[in-house]
Amino acid sequence: MGSTLLEATGLCKAFGPTQALAEVGLHLHAGEVVAVLGENGAGKSTLIKILSGVYIADAGAMRLLDEPYEPATPADAVQAGVAAVFQEPTFFPQLSVLENVFAGRQPRSRFGNVQWTAMLREGRELFTELGLSPALLDRRMEQLSLGHQQLVLIARALHLEARVLILDEPTSILTENDATKLFALVEQFTGGGGGVLYITHRFGELAQVADRIVVLKDGRKVGEGAASELSEQQVIHLMSGRHIEQAEAMAQGKRGAADAAPLLTVQGLTVEGAFSDVNLTVSRGEIVGLYGLIGAGRTEIALSLFGQLHPSAGTVTLDGRPYAPRSSRAAMAAGVAYVPEDRKTQGLYPLMDTGANLSTAVLDRVSQGGFVHRSKERTLVRRFVESLGIKTRDPGESILNLSGGSQQKVLLARWLATEPKLLILDEPTRGIDVGTKTEIHRLIFGLAEQGFGVLVISSELPELLVLSDHVHVVRDGRMVADFRRGDATSHAVLEATMGYTGADV
């Protein structure tokens, strides 16, 4: 093993009440590929964002090539020789691939002119060297597939003469062919003395790529070892095993799924390019969970049930009647409510008060002849503020003054007010502190108790396991496994999520 390239000790980072990273240490040698594994929310992204200068750690120290390394901006990190390609890449869609590779550091003549011919020659050399088609250089970035965009960004990073390359789930959107190209790039890079930090969810490629594995859980490093020595079983064991005790107690009290006829039946549902052949049922009083990695197609399934994506195949029935909403209005009219995953951009009206945020979906029910009946609206708002325990002094208070948990409850109330039969909750507790999480869990149990059908999407496996009577696992747009309450252990679900087949490494 070569000399130490990058060394981090005691890295900590908190976001509000959430400790995203606690006392994490890491080292990377020249010529080495270190894979970082962990569940969603284990702290992988936070770690690499600190290493690449996007976040600044609350505590801890980093050294690069035996020099102190304190990047304040991504540009600092790049300057020092640390390049990162993120899962949601940033690039210039309307510029050519060539310009994307060279943005910010085009070859220039003595007089400062951009030398297009030299740039093109360099770009060609780079692409040929990396086994990419030089013809790509000429195309606009937005015309490339996601996989090719990713490869271009890696090429850009390599051209920066980086010593450390950080790849955040690079293969999750790559085809097999592109992935092979990527592995070749990685090998070439480490062969030249570079080190790679590799975030992945795919066990299949660990043996192929990684020299060493680091496992994170709840922001802490829980295991580390040579890739050849750690079995998949051991890694999964290290990743899993979190508990949410209070909610578990609540789940004990919950009756089994109602035996009534299914409320929602989905058969063979397919949306081109997002997911295919999805089957699931939700009964009244049942909580059904959808688990999968971000980008696996969970949210798209929800959006298609809410009329936002139009399926190309499959049938859906709601309450025994065919259900094929063409718009969110149609979905609402049929009795489906969707609480979106991103509160800030898809839910809240930041400039309006709490009451207005709550009543927006049912204004016509509290209006007469086009005029909002203020007292009726107030009654409605008050009812939900009380029943959901929304902490606000007064419905006239700005929604931004409320805590994340109360904001989430307001959004929940907004949709409950439409008197739906089926509630779809996408990441209902994201960014909410632990105490309020429990309250939201209690609310969800209560709703099921009242006879709502509930479909929950969550990246937090422990939460989903506790809430759901039935968990479906989505991987690459397909339903790959389902578990009844009791059979669903985090171990089993994670195995299904990552495509573990039972064969040892």
Partner 1 sequence: MSSSTTTAGRDTAVGQRSGIAGRLQWRAMAIYVFVLGEMIVFSVLSANFLTAANLGNIALNAADLALIAAGMTLVIILGGIDVAVGSVLGLLALISGTATLAGVNPWLIVVLAVVLGTAIGALHGLIVTKGMVSPIIATIGLLAVWRAVHFSLWGGSDLFAPPISLLLVERFAGIPGVAFLVLVVYGGLAYVMRFRSFGRNVYAIGNDAEAARLAGIRVTRTTIGAFALLGGLVGVAALVFMSRTGVIQAYSGQGLELAVIAAVVVGGTSITGGRGAILGTLGGVVFVAVLQNGVVLLGVPPLWNGLLLGAFILLAVSIDAIVNRRAARRERAL
Footprint of partner 1 (CB under 8 A): 73-75, 78-79, 90-96, 98-99, 103-106, 108-110, 112-118, 120-121, 137-138, 140, 142, 145-146, 272-273
State the nearest-atom distance from the C-beta of 167 to partner 1, in Å. Answer: 16
Strands 59-64 and 4-15: antiparallel
Of 10 and 93, CB closest to partner 1: 93
Burial of 4 (0-12, 13-18, 19+ CB in 10 A): middle
Residue 383, phi then psi, degrees to nearest 5: -60, -45
State the nearest-atom distance from the C-beta of 148 to partner 1, in Å. Answer: 10
Of 118 and 434, CB closest to partner 1: 118
State the nearest-atom distance from the C-beta of 102 to partner 1, in Å. Answer: 8
Of 122 and 218, CB closest to partner 1: 122
Q: Determine the Cα–Cα distance for residues 137 and 127; give it in Å rounded to an integer.
A: 8
Quickly list H helices, 346-403.
Answer: 354-359, 374-388
Of 93 and 435, CB closest to partner 1: 93
Of 56 and 226, CB closest to partner 1: 56
Both tokens assigned to 44: 């992988």
Q: Determine the Cα–Cα distance for residues 35 and 198; give it in Å rounded to an integer.
A: 5
State the nearest-atom distance from the C-beta of 166 to partner 1, in Å. Answer: 13
Of 197 and 251, CB closest to partner 1: 197
State the nearest-atom distance from the C-beta of 141 to partner 1, in Å. Answer: 9
Of 117 and 368, CB closest to partner 1: 117
* 29 beta partners: 4
Give the DSSP letter string of 31-76. T-EEEEE--TTSSHHHHHHHHTTSS--SEEEEEETTEE---SSHHH
Strand extents, DSSP E, 408-469: 422-426, 453-457
Q: Determine the Cα–Cα distance for residues 441 and 460; give it in Å rounded to an integer.
A: 13
Per residue in 472-493, is it b (16+ CB within 10 Å) or e — as a string? bbbbebebebbbebeebebebb
**Maximum pairwise Cα distance, the chain:** 79
State the nearest-atom distance from the C-beta of 144 to partner 1, in Å. Answer: 8
Of 154 and 388, CB closest to partner 1: 154
Residue 476, phi then psi, degrees to nearest 5: 50, 40
Of 47 and 309, CB closest to partner 1: 309
- Is residue 43 within 8 A of residue 192, CB to CB? The reply is no
State the nearest-atom distance from the C-beta of 117 to partner 1, in Å. Answer: 4
Contacts for 428 with CB less than 8 Å, ≥ 6 apart: 339, 408, 412, 440, 444, 456, 458
State the nearest-atom distance from the C-beta of 174 to partner 1, in Å. Answer: 13
CA angle at residue 371 from 368 to 375, to 5 degrees?
80
State the nearest-atom distance from the C-beta of 273 to partner 1, in Å. Answer: 6
